[in-house]
Amino acid sequence: MLTGTRIEAPKLGSVAVTRPDPWEMTDAVLITVLCLFCAGTALGVTRRARSKCRNDEADERLVSLGELVAAFDHMLVRKGLMTRAQLDLIRTGTRSRGIITGMRTTGAAREDYREVELDLMVSRCGGGQFPIRQRALVPASALARISPGNVIDTYYRPGDESAVAVCVPPA
């Protein structure tokens, strides 16, 4: 239903059609190619310069856990805090619990460690116990935990109960 409203089409202006100048187009393409070539050359030079410089972070190698443990073991032996045999027992022996039945200080000290003589009752893995007397260097901060009745970590070989290694962490 129309009620007398008139719709007019929008008036369009005239459009002039001209022929493009071929030299303007050639100049634009030439400048674009020249810019791209220069940018590519500049990037190539910086990449080559970067590759000649050493990247210390990329050349660094992470230390493996085995290497870290070996270095720590070497430090303990070098400082005289443990013997190679004790470290071997700790690394490859059987871990057990030892109940301290007696403790005497020997008076010897090395760095922040004190030498003590321990009487221990070591539990066997299959059941049972065996007594042993062991000299060990203990951190001075852990001396309060080294008293009769306390439990500490011990390491031994099931076939050879004559050698025991004691491990007491600092407090």
State pLDDT tens for residues 97-148. 999 999 999 999 988 999 999 999 999 988 999 999 999 999 999 998 899 9
Domain ranges for the chain: 65-167
Euclidean distance between CA atoms 8 and 155, whole angstroms: 102
Cβ-based neighbours of 151, under 8 Å, separated by 6 or more:
97, 98, 99, 100
Neighbours of 25 (CB within 10 A): 10
Q: Which residue has the higher pLDDT, 67 or 19?
A: 67
Extended strands (E) in 24-128:
94-110, 113-123
Asked whether the predicted pLDDT for residue 45 surpasses 50, the reply is no
